[in-house]
Structure 1
Amino acid sequence: MRFTHLALATLTALSASLALAQGAFPSRPVTLVVPFAPGGGTDTGARLVAQKLSLKWGQPVVIDNKGGAAGMIGADLVAKAKADGYTLLMGNIGTQAINPALYKKMPYDADHAFEPVSLVAELPLVMMVNPQVPAKTVKEFIAYAKTQPGRLSYSSSGAGGSMHLAAEMFKSGSSTFVLHVPYRGGGPAIADLIAGHVQLSFATVLESSGHIKSGTVRALAVTGDKRVPALPDVPTLAEAALPGFNSISWIGILAPAGTPKDIVDKISADVREVLAADETQRKLTDLGALPKGSTPAQFQQLIANDRKRYTQIILDKKIGID
């Protein structure tokens, strides 16, 4: 029986590689799973890349939003999908680097469930408040929060995501106490910030720049080590109040473990090609993302490095999922 399973697995891999050699991949629609609700930074980036890949491949790349459990529901769906390149994951720093460091139990083995394909973009975050909050700067917000302990709240895309970690790092660095309200993605988290149900949020510039420019939220600072071209007048948190603060997100494509290397390499090369196009670069940059393709090996190393970094941050700052 073991020999039969091995033979079948070998035959599947050989068939997939042969199909690729014949120029047949993809010969049908590809599903790109976004493990968050529509409207967030991961979703926005995924839709842009899916559109470009659809044009290049001559096959639809269909977005499937499967939000919940800090991205683990959608990630688990891909981890258990057939390893043939037709079901892919648009993961992010939360699903691939933070969750494994934060959650003791996950529905899949984070170390072996995926084949990294390519980084897509780095996503700086922005600290935002509802316009009704009487704070125009980070220092003013810190002072205000200290007069309202436990009465203010912040939204995130889910426990363990980059929005959550950035907010907890801010709370630790500023000695403030703001309640955490997790959502199923960045889109709903920002919607409730706009509605005034929460007062604060840290979200990607990619998903937030339109709301900031329209005035429905107020940007106080960006979280990276340099200002963002899409929001040139918004200072970094390090400039504004907390020297050394640096916390950004990223998004990237992964395939189920066992996907043939030929297919992984083809998808990776095609992703890098569409990301290098001037129009794609301009669209992502204008929205506040920093487009960056990579090889599978480079993406794997980034995931490993960030997991190590966030494991230490979570331990040092005693960050939990409650």
Structure 2
Amino acid sequence: MIRMQRRTLGRTLVAAALAAPLLPRAARAQGAAAAWAPTRALRFVVPFPPGGATDVVARILGERMQAKLGQPVTVENRTGAAGNVGVENIVRSAPDGYSLLMGTTGTLTINPHLYRNMTFNPATDLAGVSMAFATDHVVVVNPSVPAQTLQELVALLRARPGQLSFGSGGNGSSTHLVPELFKLAARVDMQHVPYRGSAPALNDTVAGNVQVMLDQLPSALPMIQANRVRALAVTGPRRSSLLPNVPTMAEAGFAEAQATSWGAVMVPAGTPAAAIERLNAVIRESLAEPATQQRLVAAGADAVVSTPAELAATMRSETEKWGRVIREARITVN
């Protein structure tokens, strides 16, 4: 997996990256996949509502893929069950290269530990095309919360266990599990309030209906910049250039709460290898464009690419990691 965003090339990723240069590999993939070219519109399913980080990145990427493929790439928001509704829609779609999913940490590696009644397995019923992006989370609070720093928030939570609540994009989403990791690291208790996506959860944090959220940076950034919520810490290994005055979890004394979320383009299992190779090449080309990288950076995301094999390794590693968090935090959904 290769992180494309220059300001964070040295950051630790969720899986080991291969160091081969991007353009030669992309050129090889493009040449190998020249036999497949779409002849009609492609569907790009986002399993969360519009406005969240996953949706923002999918629309930026979809726009560039459309230009390169010469066919429309239409983003569809199919929500419900912490993203499972959208994922299943792609699992049940024809494996012909025309149905894509923007999978996430939550939908691909967390939900299988939480939903025992899932009728599909992301590891076997989907095929990876490429990683697409990685984002840090950011701890935000409603301005009415009397905490100016993360240490002050922890002190408040310890003084009032279970009295404050945090919003998430749904049970099992990354915006649910990253706060659970923080709770374990900081030894605090907050009530979880799940929503149908991170955008409505953030709206309720702004409104004060919930007090805290560990949202992905792309979706939280506009509210932070508008002073609608207060940012206390970012979860990545380094400070964000977009929030240079906001410390990391490690700087605040909670290194064990470090976490990065990611998104990856997936297709139904059984999709022809030629289609996957062509889509992988187009994703690489799109994310290599400086203008695309700048748009992602402005949204708080880092462009990341990978081979299908690297993506499969990432999914295995992340599935193991978040399974441990779920067990230790004793999280259950059904």
TM-score of the pair, normalised by structure 2: 0.87
Note closer, same or farther for the CA distance 1:283–1:22 as it changes in structure 2 (3 Å cut).
closer
Distance in 1, matches of 2:122 and 2:128, equals 12
Give, as a single letter, the amino acid of the residue that structure 2 aligns with 1:37: P
Matched, 1:85 2:97: yes
Distance in 2, matches of 1:209 and 1:123, equals 12
Task: Identify the match of residue 111 of structure 1 among 113, 123, 127.
Answer: 123
Distance in 1, matches of 2:34 and 2:169, equals 42
Distance in 2, matches of 1:24 and 1:256, equals 17
Distance in 2, matches of 1:194 and 1:136, equals 16
Q: CA deviation at 1:317?
A: 3.1
Distance in 2, matches of 1:72 and 1:304, equals 18
The aligned residue for residue 76 of structure 1 is 88
Distance in 2, matches of 1:212 and 1:223, equals 16
User: In terms of mean alpha carbon deviation, does 224-233 or 21-30 score higher?
Assistant: 21-30
The aligned residue for residue 296 of structure 2 is 284
The aligned residue for residue 220 of structure 2 is 208
Matched, 1:244 2:256: yes
Q: Provide Cα deviations, 1:107-130, integer angstroms capped at 9, x if missing partner.
A: 212221101001001111101001
User: In terms of mean alpha carbon deviation, does 236-245 or 50-59 score higher?
Assistant: 236-245
Distance in 2, matches of 1:230 and 1:269, equals 29
Distance in 2, matches of 1:22 and 1:201, equals 45
Distance in 1, matches of 2:260 and 2:34, equals 41
Matched, 1:180 2:192: yes
Task: Identify the match of residue 55 of structure 1 among 64, 67, 73.
Answer: 67
The aligned residue for residue 44 of structure 1 is 56
Give, as a single letter, the amino acid of the residue that structure 1 aligns with 2:314: L
Q: CA deviation at 1:23?
A: 5.9
Give, as a single letter, the amino acid of the residue that structure 1 aligns with 2:157: A
Distance in 2, matches of 1:35 and 1:81, equals 14
Task: Identify the match of residue 307 of structure 1 among 308, 316, 319.
Answer: 319
Give, as a single letter, the amino acid of the residue that structure 2 aligns with 1:77: N
Q: What are the ranges of 5 or more consecutive residues in structure 2 without an aligned counterpart?
A: 1-31
What aligned pairs does 1:128-139 form with structure 2 within 5 A after superposition?
A: 128-139=140-151
Q: What are the ranges of 5 or more consecutive residues in structure 1 without an aligned counterpart?
A: 1-19
Q: Provide Cα deviations, 1:174-228, integer angstroms capped at 9, x if missing partner.
A: 2222110111111111111111110000111111111111111111001122212
Distance in 2, matches of 1:75 and 1:262, equals 22
Instruction: Count matched residues.
Output: 303
Identical aligned residues as a percent: 39
- Contact persistence 1:34–1:90 (CA under 8 A): yes
Matched, 1:32 2:44: yes
User: In terms of mean alpha carbon deviation, does 170-179 or 277-286 score higher?
Assistant: 170-179
- Contact persistence 1:120–1:251 (CA under 8 A): yes
- Across the aligned residues of Structure 1 and Structure 2, the Cα RMSD in angstroms comes to 1.6
1:249 match: secondary structure? strand
- Contact persistence 2:36–2:275 (CA under 8 A): no
Distance in 2, matches of 1:300 and 1:184, equals 27
Distance in 2, matches of 1:292 and 1:243, equals 24
Give, as a single letter, the amino acid of the residue that structure 2 aligns with 1:179: Q
- Contact persistence 1:38–1:65 (CA under 8 A): yes
- Contact persistence 1:162–1:248 (CA under 8 A): no
Q: Provide Cα deviations, 1:151-180, integer angstroms capped at 9, x if missing partner.
A: 211100111111111111112222222110
Give, as a single letter, the amino acid of the residue that structure 1 aligns with 2:280: S
- Contact persistence 2:103–2:266 (CA under 8 A): yes
Q: CA deviation at 1:24?
A: 6.2
- Contact persistence 1:102–1:321 (CA under 8 A): yes
Matched, 1:96 2:108: yes
The aligned residue for residue 120 of structure 1 is 132
- Contact persistence 2:108–2:123 (CA under 8 A): no
Give, as a single letter, the amino acid of the residue that structure 1 aligns with 2:186: S
Q: CA deviation at 1:56?
A: 1.2
Note closer, same or farther for the CA distance 1:252–1:138 as it changes in structure 2 (3 Å cut).
same
Q: Which has the higher contact order (CA 8 A, sep 6+)?
A: 2
User: In terms of mean alpha carbon deviation, does 221-230 or 127-136 score higher?
Assistant: 221-230
Q: CA deviation at 1:240?
A: 0.8
Distance in 2, matches of 1:62 and 1:42, equals 15
Note closer, same or farther for the CA distance 1:228–1:321 as it changes in structure 2 (3 Å cut).
farther
TM-score of the pair, normalised by structure 1: 0.90
- Contact persistence 1:126–1:203 (CA under 8 A): yes
Give, as a single letter, the amino acid of the residue that structure 1 aligns with 2:79: G
Q: CA deviation at 1:22?
A: 7.7
